[in-house]
Amino acid sequence: MSDGKHILVVEDEADLANLVEVNLDLAGHRVSIARDGAEGLTMARRAQPDLILLDVMMPVLDGWQVLRSLKEDEDLQDIPVVMLTALSEERDLIRGHLQGAVRYLTKPFEMRALLQVVEDGLREPDEVELQARRTKVRALLQRLAELDSGRASESSVRFSKLESPIERRTAAPPPSVADRSKLDLLTGKQRYVAAELAAGRSARELAEELDVSRSNIYATRKRIARKLGVHPDVVAEEAKRLGLTRTT
């Protein structure tokens, strides 16, 4: 189990929030509770917790609005978020993952399951896990397209076990002028990092070469993702699609 961390619980159901607090406290964590989305966002900015447990259906600001605000804030975007919700539609599960939630628990859930996803969320992913996430994001985007077009069959997304749906490979269209112009938004360092990631280098290798922390590389990747309009987990694939190489 990880060392005790600061967990922010954003949950408007008092009984559930208190139960979660007791169990996290027994697990050695320090817990803060926010009763609505706006308070949760304020507390996150003030305290910058190690992980956030975020309910979806809340007054003032709902969980989606809070999650979006967290991921748009450079000081908060790296905080892992676990979504807690009674929603179980597959679109909701996909939406939570693509917007940056690291885990998704559907109510009612067992406290043992909650503690496990908290531990998983607090652990920094290795390169194998990052590659698995990239694969999952691509598969989820394909699945979401199927759902929106009415071609989807039975539900295949299960976030609690992080199952990866089968990725459907389709030929990518050539990059447009508008797509290529996105590269002009990147700084020199960002172009270099994107090109190296596209070439298959790991965050660890880049961190050692540039004499920075892996967190610095991950933060750079997220800035690149915002400029390219993609999820951070698919920056390497997008850089390849745009034709960004070590020589461009």
Read off the pLDDT of residues 7-26 as tens digits, 9 standing for 90 and up: 999 999 999 999 999 999 99
Is residue 165 very low, low, confident or very high in pLDDT (cuts 50, 70, 90)?
very low
Query: How many Å apart are CA 104 and CA 116, to the nearest integer?
Result: 12
- 227 falls within a domain: yes
For the record, the structure tokens of 118 come out as 């908290």
- Considering only residues 135 and 241, tell me which one the structure prediction assigns the higher pLDDT: 241
Whether residues 122 and 177 share a domain: the answer is: no
Domain that holds residue 59: 6-127
150: left (phi over 0), alpha (psi -120 to 50) or beta: left
- 34 falls within a domain: yes
Contact 140, 155 (CB under 8 A): no
Whether residues 123 and 190 share a domain: the answer is: no
Residues of the chain with pLDDT > 90, as a percent, come to 22
Residues linked to residue 81 through DSSP beta bridges, in sequence order: 52
Q: Of the candidates 68, 103, 127, which is a domain's last residue?
A: 127
Segment 122-125 long-range contacts (CB within 8 Å, at least 24 positions apart): 122/2, 122/5, 122/50, 122/51, 122/80, 123/2, 124/214
Q: Of the candidates 94, 127, 160, which is a domain's last residue?
A: 127
Whether residues 120 and 180 share a domain: the answer is: no
Query: How many Å apart are CA 77 and CA 232, to the nearest integer?
Result: 11
Query: How many Å apart are CA 113 and CA 61, to the nearest integer?
Result: 26
pLDDT at residue number 166: 35
Burial class (CB within 10 angstroms; exposed 0-12, middle 13-18, buried 19+) of 75: exposed
Contact 85, 106 (CB under 8 A): yes
- 134 falls within a domain: no
Which tens digits make up the pLDDT trace of 93-102? 666 555 556 6
Whether residues 185 and 103 share a domain: the answer is: no
Whether residues 100 and 191 share a domain: the answer is: no
Alpha-carbon 157 to chain mean position: 16
Which tens digits make up the pLDDT trace of 150-160? 554 444 444 44
- 200 falls within a domain: yes
Strands (E) across the chain are located at: 6-10, 30-34, 51-55, 81-85, 103-106
pLDDT at residue number 139: 64
pLDDT at residue number 228: 83
Residues of the chain with pLDDT > 70, as a percent, come to 69
| CATH code of 200's domain | 1.10.10.10
- 46 falls within a domain: yes
Number of domains into which the chain is organized: 2
- 140 falls within a domain: no
Average pLDDT, the chain: 77
Query: How many Å apart are CA 122 and CA 102, to the nearest integer?
Result: 10
The model carries a pTM of 0.55
- 18 falls within a domain: yes
Q: Of the candidates 99, 127, 155, which is a domain's last residue?
A: 127
- 166 falls within a domain: no
